[in-house]
Structure 1
Amino acid sequence: MCSEDVPRPYRPEMLKNDGETRRGDFAPAPLALPFPVYDNHTHFDFGDTPVELTAALDAAEAVGIAGAVQVGCDLPSSRFAVAAVDADPRLLGAVAIHPNDAPELADAGELEAALAEIDAMAAHPRIRAIGETGLDYFRTGEEGVAAQHHSFREHLDIAKRRDLALQIHCRDAHEDVLKILAEVGAPSRLVFHCFSGDAELAQICNDNGWYMSFSGTVTFKNADNLRAALAVADPALIMAETDAPFLTPHPFRGRPNASYMLPYTVQSMSQLMGRDLEEFCRQIATNTEAFYGSWTD
């Protein structure tokens, strides 16, 4: 579900840690990170337990999250991203049509118009990425593959023409994503959002200078492939995200995710890599700014 086009007022009290958090409520706030980092992929306009935008960013800032990237996945959420980056300087934005939406728009004869609007929104100076785009064969059958491929290629074109970063959504489609990138060429900055590959894909990213953004899934007990990927990933190409309100890190799965929860994932990543937490935070903050540019420009 997407929100309207402007940030909405919600319930900031949902972010308070009163020691009585129940399943379905927000989890307790983590300890603050020793150096501020960025949540490079989140959806403030999604979820059944929404919060007011400023309150959500305040709660995140209190635990060491300096800013976030609000990501669009259709026209309403992309319009929200444009409005949100104007509403709070702690936000940058990304706009796109999600691969699962592309076949529906194509069937309705509306995909080209939607892509044209995404292109226009991408001109906003605080929209720093095209995303999330890519391929998803988990929810879309063979009948939607052609539309997904066309949409992905068009998003790649927009990112390259406008010299913007690209956020890739890839589910059960790594081979075809890599094939299209080889055919048409990648933009100068590319990240596999919510990295879902393995050590082999991580090495491909290393070889191409592509970024890998890890979410709460890296903390899941059955995510050995992600931990193997993290072990070989070039530290200069690693970022962290929530994909909120989804993919809440262990041990709070089942509760809504939010940007203030990112320290749980970052702390887990630093431990898995055997890195000092402050040093690791400085590294991923530097990586994120290199990828998106400055939040203060």
Structure 2
Amino acid sequence: MSRRPRERGWPADPEPLPAPVVDNHTHLESVLGFDVPDEPARTLDDHLARAASVGVTRLVQVGCDLDAAAWTDTLLRERAAAGDTSLLGAVAVHPNEAVLHAGVREVAPDGLEPSPEARHDVDLAAAMSRIADLARGNPRIRAIGETGLDHFRAGPQGRAVQVEAFRSHVALAKELGLALQIHDRDAHQEVLDVLRRDGAPERTVFHCFSGDAEMARTCAEQGWFLSFAGPVTFGANAGLREALHAVPLGHVLVETDAPYLTPHPYRGRPNAPYLLPHTVRRVADELDRDVAEVCASLAATSEAVYGPW
């Protein structure tokens, strides 16, 4: 018996939401670079219009390497000049990028040794200086992120570099009065330790939250925000949904992290902001709340974190 070929193209549009929401973490430069065989390339205008048509009317574009951060800065300037205020931005040096800027070459926990090319010509201090200049110079950049710790790919030397970079990002966000978007992969306690030691910015967001209910409660007690992405819709992630129940709705944000982490039932296919309604509806169903009520809360919290668009 032959198997039906697995679909790989862009999923169909979801049912529009009853009220507008914000995708508070997306990578549009990567969405645009996503090659979908046998489908025409989609422009930025295509993606933004498709998102708006289902209720995702505002986005936070995240550039977390030097090229993506510069691209984000230019994008925000050009769109604002054209009268489009649907986009805000975040910039940072991703923790895995920080390791490359520091020139660390060690066998990672997965046993893979980096290639000789796996390093950047710009050192970490210079990379952070570029990020700071972008954040200071563009009023539509409203967050520092994504930054944090990633123990999935980094060994001992790399982890030490990541802590150094994370602390620098925390200090920059506080200096500029910007929100902080945290990347936390297999490093929950270590991330909390840094925030407690250095003091978190007033508006701190755990991007693609992956902790348990206890960690969720700890974050909420500190006034931090949890952003839920496609994984909250996956059947096996009951613990993540327990974390959702553990915090007040006013501490919840949603995101796509597009083109990654596509929500159920399209896992494995490319993601884009227009698919965010799947996550919003799963959050509403899980909390047994009206979808319109959840949308209104998500929009209000987004503005509380990032300011007006």
Unmatched 5+ stretches in structure 2:
1-5, 36-40, 80-84, 104-120
State the TM-score, normalizing by the size of structure 1.
0.90
Offset of residue 48 of structure 1: 2.4
In structure 1, the partner of 2:130 is 117
Look up the equivalent residue of 2:100 and give its one-letter code.
E
- Residues 68-100 of structure 1: per-residue CA shift (max 9 Å, x gap): 000011100111111121233211000000001
In terms of Rg, which structure is larger?
Answer: 2
In structure 2, the partner of 1:60 is 51
Offset of residue 243 of structure 1: 0.1
- Residues 183-202 of structure 1: per-residue CA shift (max 9 Å, x gap): 11000100000000010011
- Residues 135-192 of structure 1: per-residue CA shift (max 9 Å, x gap): 0000111120111000000000110000000000000001010001111100010000
In structure 1, the partner of 2:28 is 44
Offset of residue 51 of structure 1: 3.1
Distance 1:263 1:243 in 2: 13
Q: Within the alignment, does 1:83 sit opposite 2:82 as a pair?
A: no
Distance 2:15 2:181 in 1: 29
Q: Within the alignment, does 1:104 sit opposite 2:118 as a pair?
A: no
Q: Percent identity?
A: 49
Give the number of equivalent residue pairs.
275
Offset of residue 54 of structure 1: 1.5
Offset of residue 113 of structure 1: 0.2
- Residues 90-124 of structure 1: per-residue CA shift (max 9 Å, x gap): 11000000001111101166100000000000011
In structure 2, the partner of 1:274 is 288
Q: Within the alignment, does 1:169 sit opposite 2:155 as a pair?
A: no
Offset of residue 279 of structure 1: 0.6
Q: Within the alignment, does 1:25 sit opposite 2:16 as a pair?
A: no
Look up the equivalent residue of 2:13 and give its one-letter code.
A
Distance 2:19 2:179 in 1: 24
Distance 1:109 1:281 in 2: 42
State the TM-score, normalizing by the size of structure 2.
0.87
Offset of residue 57 of structure 1: 0.6
Structure 2 residue matching 1:92: 3-state secondary structure = strand
Q: Report the RMSD for the aligned CA atoms in angstroms.
A: 1.3
After TM superposition, which residue ranges in structure 1, 4 or more long, deviate above 3 angstroms? none
In structure 1, the partner of 2:38 is none
In structure 2, the partner of 1:213 is 227
In structure 2, the partner of 1:255 is 269
Structure 1 residue matching 2:256: 3-state secondary structure = coil
Distance 2:17 2:275 in 1: 11
Structure 2 residue matching 1:66: 3-state secondary structure = strand
